[in-house]
Amino acid sequence: MRVLVTGGCGFLGSHVCEHFKKKGWDVISYDNMTKYELKRTGYGTDATRDYNWNYLKSLGVTMVKGDIRNLEHLLDRTQDCDFLIHTAAQPAMTVSWEDPEHDFTTNVVGTFNVVETARKRKIPVVNTSSIHVYGNSINDSLIDEEMSYTRNPVEIPETQAVMVGKISPLHASKMSAEHYIQTYRDMYDVKSASFRFTGIYGERQFGGEDHGWVANFAIRSVFGLPIRIFGNGKQTRDILYAGDGADSYLKFFENQISGTYNIGGGKEHKISLLQSIYMIGEILGKKPEVIFEADRPGDMRYFICDITSAKKFGFDPKIKPKQGIEKLIRWVEENKSVFQMK
Ligand SMILES: NC(=O)c1ccc[n+]([C@@H]2O[C@H](COP(=O)([O-])OP(=O)(O)OC[C@H]3O[C@@H](n4cnc5c(N)ncnc54)[C@H](O)[C@@H]3O)[C@@H](O)[C@H]2O)c1
């Protein structure tokens, strides 16, 4: 079996490539290697940009440098593929409002090309979406706890209204991408899913303030640098270990129940920014320094996925936050030389 993973050299994409390779698949990583937001982390160097490329190459993954905005090239590279997994994206809220055209061409045009490729090649496709599509009106119904937020009911299903509250270009591009996936399913019978991911974390995540907060906190804490928090730090998610996220694509392929799914850890993985920093401090045996700054516009303060629908095709997150954050910290400690911290 052969799978092509767009954005294969990204954080999530690299876990997907690794997972399928270890299950015996032929894997093609398809990535343009822009790593746009890496430049803004403060440690974005050639070494960080190429880390996942070199790692996947060492596993025997076929590496292709290509851009999802080029339909002909994507079609050419998907000959003989059985499955298409789409993780390439402009994933950061901040970048989307600073450069909406980049966000649009990558997330909307790029996803259109991916689903058009799936149609022409007659293969199933999974689009990687985000809980951002629900919008920020969730912020209006939160209950304050000492170190986190909660809500009643705690978990949010896919039937929750989408695009409610103040939305950004990222909301619009992710939602448009989902619309194309659904349209191609209805119109052309393309077996497909959109996975609305919660916050994901794990090894090989070069997280910064724009995107990837668990990794950002872990990396800065390992280096003894202060962590900046925008808002009060009670922002809460059901964080998902990337390996569990990678397995969701395989489970979809095995069962091929088309649809739109929340993919997160559910209430057993509920953790706030403050709680995650406390946990990192416990693992490292030193308390991270925290600086508080004003809220950022568009920030979603709470999301816990109801994952009942995804469980129907076999999704089953196994790694709990403590275990996953320990893995992430060990990886940072073992790869200190890759980060050029400022
Ligand atoms: N990381 C999270 O917490 C999180 C949460 C929810 C949803 N998601 C979604 O998961 C997906 C992957 O996110 P990530 O965190 O791995 O991001 P990432 O930035 O690490 O990976 C994205 C990859 O896509 C590549 N890429 C960008 N534009 C491209 C193009 N035009 N052609 C080919 N490749 C291109 C980049 O080079 C990068 O390697 C995104 O769709 C994101 O919205 C991520």
Per-residue pLDDT tens digits for 319-331: 999 999 999 999 9
- What's the confidence (pLDDT) of residue 36? 61
**Cα of 22 to ligand 1 centre, how many Å?**
21
Q: Whose CA is nearest to atom 18 of ligand 1?
A: 10
Fold of domain 2-338: Rossmann fold (3.40.50)
Which has the higher per-residue pLDDT, 112 or 298? 112
Tell me, using a 6 A CB cutoff, whether residue 265 lines ligand 1. Answer: no
- Cβ–ligand 1 contact at 87 (below 6 Å): yes
Per-residue confidence (pLDDT) for residue 40, from 0 to 100: 65
* pLDDT tens figures, 76-88: 999 999 999 999 9
C-alpha to C-alpha distance for 292 and 282, rounded to whole angstroms: 21
Q: What are the extents of the domains in the chain?
A: 2-338
For residue 131, the ligand 1 atom closest to its alpha carbon is 6
Tokens encoding 273: 């920014």
Q: Are 269 and 240 a contacting pair, CB within 8 Å? A: yes
What is the rounded distance in angstroms from the CA atom of residue 164 to the CA atom of residue 161? 7
CB 70 less than 6 A from any atom of ligand 1 = no
Percentage above 70 pLDDT, the chain: 96
Taking the model in full, what pTM does it have?
Answer: 0.96
- Strand spans (E) along 88-246: 125-130, 143-144, 149-150, 192-197, 200-201, 227-230, 236-238, 240-241
Q: Is 130 in the pocket of ligand 1 (CB under 6 A)?
A: yes
Mean pLDDT of the chain: 94
Residue 183, pLDDT score: 98
CB of 96 closer than 6 angstroms to any ligand 1 atom: no
Q: Given this model, what pLDDT does residue 268 score?
A: 96
* Tens of pLDDT, residues 164-201: 988 899 999 999 999 999 999 999 999 999 999 999 99
98-114 residue pLDDT tens? 999 999 999 999 999 99
What integer is the mean pLDDT of 7-35?
95
CA of 92 to the centre of ligand 1 (A): 9
